[in-house]
Structure 1
Amino acid sequence: MSMSALRRARKQEGPRASLKQLLPYIFEHKKVIAVVIVLSIFGALASLAQPLLVGQVITRVEHGTPLGSLVWILVALVIVASLISGYQHYLLQRTGTAVVYSSRRHLIARILHLPISEFDARRTGDLVSRVGTDTTLLYAALTQGLADAVGNGLLFIGAIIAMAIIDWALLLLILVVIGVSIVVVGALSGRIRRATREQQEKVGELSSGMSRAVGSIRTIRASGASGREEAAVTALASDTYDVGVRIARVSAAVVPVAGIALQVSLLVVLGVGGFRVASGVITIAQLVTFVMFLFMLVQPLGTFFGAITSVNQALGALGRIQEVLDLPTESQEDAAIAARVREADLRQAQGTGSDADAPAISFRDVRFRYPEAVVAARAKAENEAATLLESAHVTVASDSLPPMPDESGEVLHGVTFDVPRGARVALVGPSGAGKSTTLALIERFYDPSGGAILLGGQDVRLLDREHLRAQLGYVEQDAPTLAGSIGDNLRLAAPEASDAECERVLRAVNLGDVIERSPLGIDAPVGEAGVMLSGGERQRLAIARALLAAPPILLLDESTSSLDGLNEQRMREAIDAVATGRTLIVIAHRLSTVVDSDHIVVLDRGRVVGQGTHSELVASTPLYRDLAKHQLLV
């Protein structure tokens, strides 16, 4: 293989973890590991003493000498070694479980604070599998020989020393056999690590595929696509199976190596050793003692070989874990972003403090392009969706697809507008115009590629994200409902809200009947993804959640799209009531919901093509006039 091909192969493997990266997880429990090591040493000493005592017993029997207390000492050593082994096993199992918990805790903390771009570029199921499946492999690495390496090493060295004292020539023959076995295992270990990482990636793809299928089960059933979706997910399971078989094949070559080494070594000892006994070089007692030490030599060797397999599997998984742990969180990115903003003097003339006279939100020549990884992930998702729908003879509607960049790579081009304090501003325009992207930038799910967004006169990139988002209430398009109760969903942004406050806001959005139809009231469950609620009820619950938090600025993305005329009117009344003294930015396709807005911004293909009131835009902006005509508003 050429060097360039080798580099490409290594790049495809992804980041490779080392044993050094595994040790910190173990050293978190160094006190318990220290106890395990001490127990391993005592256990090794107790085991090493047994062959010597057996040799003494055989010698005394040969000479007719009384055994005395030798037998009882031997029995005691066997019992002590067994008790030590049992307690050591318990400590290793407990510590292995703690290591898995620790790694999961770190992963959970990292994943839940990653930038939104990482979630847009990665499959959810793959991230979940790293928390579940990958971390489990760390358990096997610890419990199958890594932590008691000191005890096994002492047993191995002690056995070699004792065997050398008994018959060094016979020992040399044994070491040749063992050396060959170690070379064979070393050659196979790298293949196990690479295959394990590939297997974990396949498991992640399988989790993502199954998650997609289960999450869209109603659509799949209604489209008659159950069989096709089953085939697609089964194909992912088949890929995982193929890699698993490859790992089993390599592991199967490793496992018998220790057994073969023992058998060959035993044959060598019995053949050559028997000859040396007959020649008078060593005694029968020494040969028996040598054979017992041989078993003690091969026992840690077998554990070592098993540990190589387990550790290489763990390192393959750890590479995927470290890949996520090495990603910067939002807060870690903020310091570097703020430094670049200050260096580029993007704070505007207002300085670093809030300006009471400045607009609530200002866009200043904002340009934006999605990261390449996100664009690639969206394109792949669209291709997969298009293939599935095409096979189901369903046409993909253009407005169902997320906005994609034009030839320049940008989705927003020099967007500029102001949102006065306490005003209601509407963003309108065709699908893919960049309306939802605009709200995502205000929330700092992404940062602009150029220009600046100001909150009260201050660049939002100089603000702590939690402080920024505490001032914003965001109801996204198709806002998800979390599994749990109605109260759990409401209190997501206002955890201290009372039951009375929750009930008040529910009635304000016409959800009073939802809490009345269950004796549990606001503690009534909503089901997985809110399946026990209708689409309109889920939308109203999302709006109620934002209204309960009552932030200074509300961002509503198609917040009434799932509502009928009556509920839409009641929703508008509830929003009007809570909007007093607050700033609203509303996205709507139905212009009837925004014609009375204080200011309307018309977007088309990432550019502002018109601003003003409804009547002004009907007169000045052809795109808006066409939208209004189609909706019978002019």
Structure 2
Amino acid sequence: MSDTRRRSPFSRPRKDDGPRATFRQLLPYLLEHRGVMIGVAVLSVVAAVFTLVQPLMIGQVIARVESQDPLGWLIVLLVVFVLLQSATSAYQHYLLQRAGTAVVLSSRRRLIRRILHLPISEFDARRTGDLVSRVGTDTTLLYAVLTQGLADSVGNLLIFVGALIAMLVIDPILLLTIAVVLVAAVGAVTAFAGRIRSATAVQQTRVGELASGIERAIGSIRTIRASGATAREEEAVADNAQAAYRAGLDVAKASAFVVPVAGLAMNVSLLVVLGVGGLRVATGAVSVASLVTFAMFLFLMIMPLGSAFGALSSVGQALGALGRIQEVLDLPEEDANDTVRTGSAVPVLGSGEPAIAFEDVRFRYPQNVVEARREAAAEVQSSADDAHLASDLASASDGDVLRGVSFAVPVGSRIALVGPSGAGKSTILALIERFYDATGGSILLHGNDVRDLPREALRAQFGYVEQDAPTLAGSLADNLRLASPNATDADCERALRAVNLGHVIDRDQRGVDTPVGEDGVMLSGGERQRLAIARALLSAPPILLLDESTSSLDGLNEQRMREAIDAVAQGRTLIVIAHRLSTVIDSDKIVVLESGRVVGEGTHAELVESTPLYRELAEHQLLV
């Protein structure tokens, strides 16, 4: 049956069996807490000894009752052993819970660190909700590995072997009759363990898709409501929930056989013991006390067997989840292939060199990003509301985005990048910041190839304002201190007033601690953009990269913003992307881009005369 469920944009092609992990990959998570694990193993052995002694003592009690001998201290000792076994098991349970929680914590910390250091291309190709699901849901399944029978396997093995030996001594014939039942149960559970792991991997993938769908719907709720698309989004997310439900049923079906096997083995074995054992008591082959003792050891042997079955099931589920965790952990970090040690001090200032220079730069997005964008384009192609998005994504995914781009930005100058959508303007800023590396040519910072500089040192030279710069949940000061953690409240206030956000401070008695809400919902679009600019200005970098920084401002605030930028631009280099030419006509140089190529360079007046594309843009905006 074909899968016709609607998927969210930017989802990746599915692999229904999901990534797989091996038990060897699980061991480092367990061995990281080897001290607690050893303590649990020791306690499980002690508890096993207390447990194995009890049937023997009960057999002695029954034998003494039959022979009418005094019980003496047997009852007291039996109660003491029961209490000791309970106390030991309770503390062992606490250690297991603590170790399980610690495993989840360590796995989450590994994942968080790796995710936050992944190349930007991975974020462009993957869904945010799926990554969140791996940190939250997948890591939780590792908890079950310790708390459902694996860590106390030493004690359980001792109980199993001890009970087996005791039963062999009491009545080997009776033991042989139930051995067939136990062997069959173990074989069946082992056969189903692989199916549980595969089904769990698929389930976790579906849960990741559900989280991604919810994240997309909530993050775009205003646009969805305004577009009348609430019902369609509800259906899409509901389909994801249904898919997760069906995957959960597959896990339930695979594990439904495993869970009752221990109980079934116990019931059949008990019936065998009662039937065959009763006949042997009747013939005088064994005594009633021996039969009772045998039956108790049977219970003790079945208990660790059931625990082992549960451990196999939980390990299978954990390995399915660990496969998804390991898939992210195996991804290289952003600076994995850099030849310069991260954090090393590398001088970037050169004598007489341009601040930034592009020399025959070519760039093509990585294949995983291209595939994600093509799939996104296909997903939205059928929607008239999203037709423009489909067109943009399809064109951006086809071939080189930059085709031999060359230009220079002198120190202290203001350079503007203009051109139609998809011309490669934002990609140029992304390459300067080394979110991606050029696939051909060179990008120089004061004469140094940016690929020879540590990313941290390189990015410290720039203040970067994205076209849709995010506003972090928290306060105004929290957003400003993202790039300047040591900035004072006074510094924050000066930066806010410099970009005409003084009224936001004045309208709330908390000042720079005024909350902005989730995604800056308590600010207007223009205020969010000015806040992003204030954040860049506060860090006082030598080079400012502004991507459509005034696109959300009205005429008055645009003029004030230009004045603020003019004030802080003294002694700094600016590279500005703008569709509204009125904001950049006074730039020292304007670089005109079309289809990934530079088609013109010069001042506004020069380009009006020399470059047809620029002249057309200027005419449409009534600037000529």
**TM-score normalised by length of structure 2:** 0.95
CA contact (8 A) 1:360 1:583 kept: yes
Work out the CA distance in 2 between the residues paired with 1:505 and 1:385: 40
1:11 shift after superposition: 6.6
Q: Distance in 2 between matches of 1:214 and 1:405?
A: 26
What is residue 88 of structure 1 aligned with on the other side? Answer: 92
- Alignment of 1:498 with 2:492, yes or no, is no
1:307 to 307, 311, 323: 311
| Structure 1, 375-384 or 160-169: larger mean CA deviation | 375-384
Q: Which residue of 1 aligns with 2:115?
A: 111
* Per-residue deviation, 1:519: 0.8
1:97-176 → structure 2 map (5 Å cutoff): 97-176=101-180
Q: Please say if 1:624 is aligned against 2:619.
A: no
How many Å apart are 1:386 and its aligned residue? 3.9
What's the secondary structure of 1:483's corresponding residue? Answer: coil
Tell me the C-alpha RMSD between the 2 structures. Answer: 1.9
Following TM superposition, by how much is the alpha carbon of 1:454 offset from its aligned partner in structure 2, in angstroms?
0.9
Q: CA deviation at 1:34?
A: 1.3
CA deviations on 1:146-182 (whole Å, 9 max, x unpaired) are 1111111111111111111112222222221111001
Task: Please show how residues 536-551 of structure 1 align to structure 2 within 5 Å.
Answer: 536-551=526-541
Q: Which one of 419, 424, 435 corresponds to residue 445 of structure 1?
A: 435
Structure 1 position 406, deviation (Å): 6.9
Work out whether 1:179 is the aligned partner of 2:198.
no
The one-letter amino acid of 1:609's match is V
Say how many residue pairs are matched: 609
Question: Where does 1:323-338 land on structure 2 (aligned, <5 Å)?
Answer: 323-335=327-339
Give the structure 2 partner of residue 343 of structure 1.
none
> 2:472 is matched with which residue: 476, 479, 482?
482
Cα 1:506/1:259, change in 2 over 3 Å:
same
Conserved in 1, the CA contact under 8 Å of 2:380 and 2:389?
Answer: no
Please tell me the residue identity of whatever aligns with 1:396. Answer: A
* Aligned residue in 1 for 2:357: 362
* Partner residue in 1 for 2:392: 401
Q: Say yes or no: does 1:262 pair with 2:266.
A: yes
Deviates more, 1:59-68 or 1:231-240: 59-68
Counterpart of 1:602 in structure 2 is: 592
Q: Offset of 1:402 from its aligned partner?
A: 4.7
Question: Which has the higher mean CA deviation after the structures are superposed, 493-502 or 26-35?
Answer: 26-35
Tell me, in whole angstroms, the C-alpha distance in 2 between the residues paired with 1:92 and 1:601.
64
Q: Which amino acid aligns with 1:401?
A: D
Equivalent-residue separation in structure 1 for 2:386 and 2:317 (angstroms): 44
C-alpha deviation, 1:363, in angstroms: 0.7
Q: Is the 8 A contact 2:472 2:519 kept in 1?
A: yes
1:468-504 deviation digits (Å, cap 9, x = unpaired): 1111110000111011100000111001011111111
The 5-angstrom pairing of residues 223-238 of structure 1 reads 223-238=227-242
Name the counterpart of 1:377: 372
The residue that corresponds to 1:346 in the other structure is: none
Any idea what the Cα deviations from partners look like across 1:204-228, whole Å, max 9, x if unmatched?
Answer: 1111111111111111111111111
1:279 shift after superposition: 2.5
CA contact (8 A) 1:362 1:417 kept: yes
Amino acid at match of 1:33: M
- Structure-2 separation of matches of 1:131 and 1:406: 30
> Residue 409 of structure 2 aligns to which amino acid in structure 1?
V
CA distance in 1, matches of 2:14, 2:465: 43
Alignment equivalent of 2:451, drawn from 447, 450, 461: 461
1:421-480 CA deviation, whole Å, 9 max, x = no partner? 111111011000000001000011100111111111111111111111111110000111
Shift of 1:403: 7.5
Offset at 1:401?
3.3
Cα drift, residue 395 of structure 1: 5.8
Partner deviation per Cα, 1:297-349 (whole Å, 9 max, x = no partner):
000011111111111111110110111111111122323999xxxxxxxxxxx
Aligned to 1:472: 462
The Cα offsets for residues 569-592 of structure 1, whole Å up to 9 and x where unpaired, read as 111111111111111000000111
CA-to-aligned-CA distance 1:106-133 (integer Å, 9 cap, x gap) = 1111111110000001000000000101
Secondary structure of 2:412's aligned partner: coil
Compute the displacement of 1:557 (Å): 0.3
Secondary structure of 1:365's counterpart equals strand
**Inter-partner Cα distance in structure 2 for 1:535 and 1:100:** 39
- Taking structure 1 as the reference length, the TM-score comes to 0.93
Matched with 2:326 is 322
**Separation in 2 of the partners of 1:218 and 1:15?**
35
In structure 2, C-alpha distance between the alignment counterparts of 1:160 and 1:308, rounded to whole Å: 21
Asked if the contact 1:403–1:433 (Cα under 8 Å) also holds between the matched residues in 2, the reply is no
CA distance in 1, matches of 2:221, 2:16: 33
CA contact (8 A) 1:363 1:415 kept: yes
Shift of 1:71: 1.1
Q: Distance in 2 between matches of 1:186 and 1:255?
A: 12
1:276-315 Cα offsets, whole Å, 9 max, x none, are 2222222221111110000000000111111111111111
Aligned partners of 1:263 and 1:395: how far apart in 2? 61
Secondary structure at the counterpart of residue 101 of structure 2: helix
Further displaced range: 326-335 or 599-608: 326-335
1:558 aligns to what? 548
Shift of 1:50: 0.6
Tell me, in whole angstroms, the C-alpha distance in 2 between the residues paired with 1:21 and 1:204.
Answer: 22
SS at match of 2:228: coil
- In the other structure, the counterpart of 1:188 is 192
Q: Which residue of 2 aligns with 1:572?
A: 562
SS of 1:330's partner is coil
Give 1:252 shift.
1.4
Paired position in structure 1 for 2:9: none
Moved over 4 A (4+): 9-12, 351-354
Tell me which residue corresponds to 1:207: 211
> Secondary structure of the equivalent of 1:554?
strand
Task: Tell me the SS of whatever aligns to 2:387.
Answer: coil
CA distance, structure 1, for counterparts of residue 351 and residue 607 of structure 2: 29
Report if aligned partners of 2:192, 2:258 keep a CA contact under 8 Å in 1: yes
Give the counterpart of 2:292 among 285, 288, 293. 288
Give 1:12 shift.
4.9
Task: Decide which of 267, 277, 284 is 2:281's aligned counterpart.
Answer: 277
Equivalent residue number for residue 6 of structure 1 = none
Q: Does 1:25 align with 2:46?
A: no
The letter of the residue matching 1:459 is: D
CA deviations 1:17-66 (Å, max 9, x no partner) are 11222221122222111111111000000000011111111122222221
- CA displacement at 1:262 relative to structure 2: 0.5
Tell me the amino acid that sits aligned with residue 569 of structure 1.
Q
Give 1:347's aligned residue: none
Q: How has the CA–CA distance of structure 1 residues 395 and 70 changed in structure 2, closer, same or farther, with 3 Å as cutoff? A: closer
Report the Cα offset of residue 13 of structure 1. 2.4
Describe the shift of the 1:498–1:561 C-alpha distance in structure 2 as closer, same or farther (beyond 3 A). same
Question: What is the aligned counterpart of 2:509 among 511, 519, 526?
Answer: 519
Matching residue's letter, 1:207: A
Unaligned 5+ runs, structure 1: 1-8, 339-350
Segment of structure 1 superposing worse, 206-215 or 20-29: 20-29
- What is the CA deviation profile of residues 502-546 of structure 1, one whole-angstrom value per residue up to 9, with x for unaligned ones? 111111110000011111111011001000000000010000100
Taking the aligned partners of 2:103 and 2:339, their CA distance within structure 1 comes to: 31
Question: Which amino acid in structure 1 is aligned with residue 487 of structure 2?
Answer: A
Higher mean alpha-carbon deviation, 12-21 vs 231-240, is at 12-21
What is the deviation of 1:398?
A: 5.9
Q: 1:68 aligns with which of 72, 84, 100?
A: 72
